[in-house]
Amino acid sequence: MKRMKKILSVIMIAAMLLMLGVHAAATQTVTVGTGTGSITVTNATEGKTYRLYKLFDATYSDDAVSYSYTKTEIEDALFDLLTSDGSPFVLTQVLDTDTYVVTTEATASDISDWIKSNLTENDGILTDGDVLKAITSAEATESEIKFDELAFGYYFITSTLGTTITIDSNTPDKSVIDKNQGPSWDVDNEGSGKVITADSNKTYENGTQENSVNVGDVVNFLIGVNTTNYNGDQAIVEYYINDSLGKGFEYDRDSLVVKIGDVTLTRVDADPVVGASYTVEWNEEDNSFRITVPWYDEDGEVFASENANNTISVTYSATLVDNDDTVYAGEGNKNTATFDYRDTSDEPNPGGEPYHTTDEKETTTYTFALGFTKIDGKTKQPLAGAEFRLKNAAGKYITATGSNGDYVYSGTADDVNGATTFTTDGNGQLIVKGVAEGTYTVMETKAPDGYNQLASPVTVSASIIESSTYSTTYTTYYDADGNVVETAQEDGTTLTRTYDVSAVDLVIENNAGTVLPGTGGIGTGIFYIVGGLLVVGAVVVLITRKRLKG
């Protein structure tokens, strides 16, 4: 009996220590009966159902507690379990009655595990009535639920949040922590933890895991973490949000905003204050950052419990740029996020391995390279020097930087005066990198010398190709001064890059022009020949007539 008292005392003391300093929170009271005890579940999750079960009766006086169990025909199944091999309890019959004194040598963890294995199923919800019927149940509407006016006894509580069992005695009033609590990704609004947002407000509305943009476009990101004050029965000390942006992006550091619910935190260089500020470490080498949000104040008190089950949101913007790490089509530009947290069971390890880690969330941003080859319609040989203008689906002219077949998107122009003229290179190829998904119109403005210009425009589409991957290799030659030249030079440099091109199989043919008749050709000479023959014929007729008369 003394051992049982010690175990239950340890449970009570541990729960009270963890609850010291918890700020006042709204409490939902559930009146159960006419007893004088109570059990309060702290850090409850709103919308989840909590069920209260009583295993044993108890009498209580100061530090003395005695537990008993009365057998009834209805509870034969429970009695059989309590007295079976492996049960953590010892039931000793009192004289010749149906009452049994309950003792144990087991730990609280052993008892909790046994209850889960023998009395629960279906994710922590007991089979109601077959073995043990819940005294009461309630759906949480606040962060605390108080089961009030309870008879003294030994109770356990389950919730639809998970399968962890909370056990304790109301001697006379106890507070217990919902041990199913633990942080998670925010996926309530189909957020999936990290999303690309379609609007500058950076909300989950219209959020997505994939998008397509032009080089130079700004992309908005949102990361969301559902917070709790506890990980099991351990208070959480700090949250960490980690983000790794593809190297084809450039962060807008000034756009970074961190919130808890609707409260915006202030960025500081060191010593952030709970509920007011945060710190961020930027890693330029791998284009990432790590945010630290404290969850314990400097006195070791748990952060205000009304903020439990809230959300830490991180929003920022970044610009897709053209560099050696930018992915054109293919697998796209990947951006990932993770979060971890430290609780009271962890020793600080700044710069070391993450504490309690989570799975990785990912978004993908696509950009494409439009491309085609210009060839002779008869010989199929490439044609250099063909000039084009491009329009997007909105009818805007495409502008770009570059030359000699190799271009990078830079924007759009409303009219032809601002449009870029694109020229095919010596291989007849033209590539425009960094365009968003869509359909583009290609208009030839000048054909190679000796060839007819296309009478009608052609269209090319930028899109993800699932069935096959096209690629094209483009080589640029530079002279010693860095100027682009047609062929390699001994004192120059050569750059060869391979791009995924959505329309590399598009071939545009030009035909050589037809030679029109000239003034010195047979077109007029035939008239001179016919005229000469007519003159000769006339002379022959005159001579013949004179001879006949003579």
Query: CA 109, CA 112: separation in Å to the nearest integer?
Result: 5
What residue type is 253 in one-letter code? R
Dist. CA 236–CA 227, nearest whole Å: 9
DSSP string, 465-480: -SS---EEEEEEEE-T
Q: What is the mean pLDDT of the chain?
A: 80
Q: Which residue, 381, 15, 42, is CA-closest to 178?
A: 42
Strands 173-177 and 37-42: parallel
Angle at alpha carbon of residue 55, lines to 52 and 60, rounded to 5°: 100
Instruction: Find which of 186-190, 228-232, 514-518 is predicted with most confidence, using mean pLDDT.
Output: 228-232
Q: Give Dmax (Cα) for the chain.
A: 178
The kind and range of the H/E element at 537 are helix 522-549
Among 137-141, 425-429, 543-547, the range scoring the smallest mean pLDDT is: 543-547
Expressed in angstroms, the distance from the first to the final Cα of the chain is 170
Residue 52 and residue 153 in contact, taking contact as beta carbons nearer than 8 Å: no
Q: Please give the CATH number for the structural domain made up of 184-362.
A: 2.60.40.740
Give the model's pLDDT for residue 9. Answer: 35
327 vs 506, more confident: 327
Residue in the block written with tokens 């359909």: 439
Residues of the chain with CATH 2.60.40.10: 368-510
Looking at per-residue confidence, does 376 or 124 come out higher? 376
Instruction: Using a pLDDT cut of 70, give the percent of the chain over it.
Output: 78
Task: Render pLDDT for 407-426 as a digit per residue (tens, 0 to 9).
Answer: 999 999 999 999 999 999 88
Q: Look at residues 67, 64, 69 and name the one whose alpha carbon lies nearest to residue 9.
A: 64
* 19 or 275, higher pLDDT: 275
Of the pLDDT bands very low, low, confident and very high (cuts 50, 70, 90), residue 46 is: confident
Residues of the chain within CATH 2.60.40.740 domain(s) are 184-362
Q: Is the peptide bond before 172 cis (omega within 30 degrees of 0)?
A: yes
E-strand stretches of 127-190: 136-139, 144-150, 153-159, 162-169, 173-177, 184-185
What per-residue confidence (pLDDT) applies to 123?
44
Pick 368-510's CATH classification: 2.60.40.10, 2.40.110.10, 3.40.50.1100, 1.10.3720.10.
2.60.40.10
**pLDDT at position 504:** 44
Rounded to the nearest 5 percent, the helix, strand and coil shares of the chain are: 15, 45, 40
- Tell which phi-psi region holds residue 404, choosing left (phi > 0), alpha (psi between -120 and 50) or beta: left
Identify the residue with better confidence: 20 or 167: 167
Tokens linked to 92 = 């000793």
CA distances from residue 473 to 48, 467, 470, 482, 524 in whole angstroms, order as listed? 58, 20, 10, 21, 52
497 pLDDT tier (thresholds 50, 70, 90):
low
pLDDT of residue 198: 77
Model confidence at 427: pLDDT above 50:
yes
Residue with tokens 């609007």: 199
pLDDT-based confidence at residue 391 (cuts at 50, 70, 90): very high
- Dist CA 475 CA 484 (whole Å): 11
Instruction: Count how many Cα atoms sit within 13 Å of the Cα of residue 128 in the half-sphere of its side chain.
Output: 8
